């Protein structure tokens, strides 16, 4: 591990000032960063510990109905918050499908947005990776790439974004609140992560020294609570990243879909909202035909990046199925296997 300086600021302003130094990195739970440091993938010269900063660990509902989640809120705390799970059940289900219970108890909301790809070539310092070392090439192209992206990839990077949490956030129009030397700004989550293009090392819109302070869900997102699900297909139900996942949220009245929100995970280089699929569903009657048309629209621009053509068909089936699940209604109780295609509709954790 690279030698580094440890800084423990007393305020957000102090943290931002400290992070202005080249080679700095923010430390929350460190569930991803410390692993990368141990493997020599990430080599910061300064760590700014955020864990004791005030006001970053709260879940707040504003008078306008929006919900603000501090960057240091633990994944498990958010998923098990009764009011939050009732209003945004797909987000809770996605959180509970990710990692292990131990990691969810440590990992933070801000860190989840900032987690790095699990591409094996990125994690292997002996391999060429433009994301880790710009200009070195991409060994995943032409290599072992059955888990890589079919949407949003470029000739410079085909790695997928690994987050479960970000998928329903993208569907529901979440906003990322960012603090920097020039003050505070807000960015839609769908714009927060960059496509790789020819600069895959630039993974987000964060400028040097900027930090995530909160994520907000707008009041109108709660209108989808009655028809909202997350579905994740993985190589094993326990503790694995998605081969393909999708979040669906519907507003249905009198047998008609008035509004739809769909986002994809495990298949793209960033959390992928599909407005084309949403447009197909608006005004349609919920049913297999409409759902399959939406699935086709969601993957209309997909193309294999190697040995992963199966992901296109798999992703379509995930979209059609999660739409059918959402149309059937959010279950009153969290499934015992959250987001799993093998889950029953009942479980031990109540939304209410």
**74 lies in a domain?**
no
- The CATH number linked to 36 is 3.30.43.10
Average confidence (pLDDT) over 268-294: 98
CATH number, residue 292:
3.30.390.50
The percent of residues in the chain predicted with pLDDT above 90, rounded, is 95
Q: How confident is the model at residue 350 (pLDDT cuts 50, 70, 90)?
A: very low
What confidence score (pLDDT) does residue 349 get? Answer: 40
Are the C-beta atoms of 81 and 38 separated by less than 8 Å? Answer: no
Residue 184 — very low, low, confident or very high, per pLDDT cuts 50/70/90? Answer: very high
- 338-351 average pLDDT score: 67
The span from the CA of 207 to the CA of 301, in Å, is: 30
- List beta partners, residue 178: 185, 212
Residue 219 falls inside a structural domain: no
Is pLDDT above 80 for 131?
yes
Between 74-88, 178-192, 300-314, 336-350, the lowest mean confidence (pLDDT) is in: 336-350
**Domain final position from 37, 52, 67:** 52
For tokens 């193309």, name the residue.
303
Position 37 in a domain = yes
pLDDT tens track for 109-127:
999 999 999 999 999 999 9
| Total number of domains constituting the chain | 2
- SS3 assignment, position 217: strand
At 2 the pLDDT is 86
Nearest to 112, CA basis, from 153, 64, 77: 77
Q: Quote the domain boundaries for residue 12.
A: 5-52
Q: Where are the beta strands (DSSP E) in the chain?
A: 5-7, 24-27, 46-49, 59-61, 67-70, 175-180, 183-188, 211-217, 228-233, 244-253, 256-265, 272-273, 333-334, 349-350
- CB atoms under 10 Å from CB of 212, counted, come to 27
What pLDDT is stored for residue 343 in this prediction?
A: 86
155 found inside a domain: no
DSSP 115-149: PPP--HHHH-TTS-BTTTSTTS-BTTTTSS-TTS-
Q: Is the pLDDT of residue 352 over 50?
A: no
**52, 67, 83 - which closes a domain:** 52
Average pLDDT over residues 298-320: 98
pTM: 0.96
Instruction: Please state, as a whole number, how many other Cβ atoms lie within 10 Å of the Cβ of residue 210.
Output: 20
What per-residue confidence (pLDDT) applies to 345?
A: 60
In this prediction, residue 1 has a pLDDT band, given cuts at 50, 70 and 90, of confident
Give the whole-angstrom CA distance, residue 226 versus residue 250.
8
Report whether pLDDT(351) > 80. Answer: no
Name, in order, each residue with C-beta under 8 angstroms of 245's C-beta and a sequence gap of 6 or more. Answer: 94, 164, 167, 230, 231, 232, 233, 264, 265, 266, 318, 339
Indicate whether 244 belongs to any domain. yes
Report the relative pairing of strands 24-27 and 183-188 from DSSP bridges: unpaired
Instruction: Report the chain's mean pLDDT, rounded to a whole number.
Output: 96
**pLDDT, tens digit (0-9, with 9 covering 90-100), for 148-173:** 999 999 999 999 999 999 999 999 99
Q: Is the pLDDT of residue 239 over 90?
A: no
Tokens of 173: 């129009």
**Rounded mean pLDDT of 236-252?**
95
The answer to the question of residue 15 being in a domain is: yes
Whether the pLDDT of residue 188 is over 50: the answer is yes
What would the mean pLDDT of 206-225 be, rounded to a whole number? 97
Contact 76, 102 (CB under 8 A): no
Average pLDDT of the residues in 302-324: 98
Asked if the structure places residue 138 within a domain, the reply is no
Classify the C-alpha dihedral 128-133-138-144 as positive or negative.
positive
User: 33 in a domain, yes or no?
Assistant: yes
In whole angstroms, give the CA distance from residue 24 to residue 44: 6
* Residues 291, 296, 298: CA angle, nearest 5 degrees: 90
């Amino acid at each position: 591990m690279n030698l580094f300086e440890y800084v423990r600021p007393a305020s957000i302003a102090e943290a931002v000032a400290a992070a202005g130094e080249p080679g700095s990195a923010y430390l929350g739970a460190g569930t991803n960063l410390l692993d990368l440091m141990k493997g020599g993938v990430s080599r910061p010269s300064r760590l700014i510990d955020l864990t004791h900063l005030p006001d970053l660990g709260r879940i707040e509902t504003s008078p306008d109905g929006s919900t603000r989640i501090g960057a240091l809120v633990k994944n498990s705390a958010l998923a098990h918050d009764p009011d939050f799970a009732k209003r945004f059940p797909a987000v809770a289900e996605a959180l509970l499908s990710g990692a292990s219970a131990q990691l969810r108890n440590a990992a933070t909301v801000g860190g989840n947005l900032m987690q790095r790809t699990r591409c094996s070539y990125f994690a292997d310092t002996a391999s060429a990776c433009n994301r880790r070392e710009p200009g070195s090439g991409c060994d995943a192209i032409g290599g072992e790439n059955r888990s890589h992206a079919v949407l949003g990839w470029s000739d410079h990077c085909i790695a997928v974004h690994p987050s479960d949490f970000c998928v329903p956030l993208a569907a529901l129009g979440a906003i990322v609140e960012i603090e920097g030397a020039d003050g505070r700004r807000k960015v839609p989550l769908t714009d927060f992560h960059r496509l790789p293009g020819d600069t895959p090392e630039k993974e987000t819109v964060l400028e040097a020294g900027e930090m995530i302070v909160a994520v907000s869900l707008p009041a109108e997102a709660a209108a989808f609570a009655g028809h909202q699900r997350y579905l994740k297909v993985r190589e094993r139900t326990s503790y694995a990243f998605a081969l393909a996942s999708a979040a669906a949220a519907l507003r249905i009245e009198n047998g008609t879909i008035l509004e739809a929100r769909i986002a994809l995970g495990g298949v793209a280089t960033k959390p992928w909202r599909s407005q084309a699929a949403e447009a197909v569903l608006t005004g349609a009657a919920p049913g297999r035909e409409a759902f399959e048309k939406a699935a086709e629209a969601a993957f209309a621009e997909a193309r294999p990046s190697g040995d992963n053509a199966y992901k296109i068909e798999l992703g379509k089936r995930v979209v059609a199925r999660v739409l059918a699940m959402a149309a059937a209604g959010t279950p009153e109780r969290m499934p015992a296997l959250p987001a799993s295609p093998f889950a029953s509709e009942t479980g031990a954790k109540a939304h209410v």
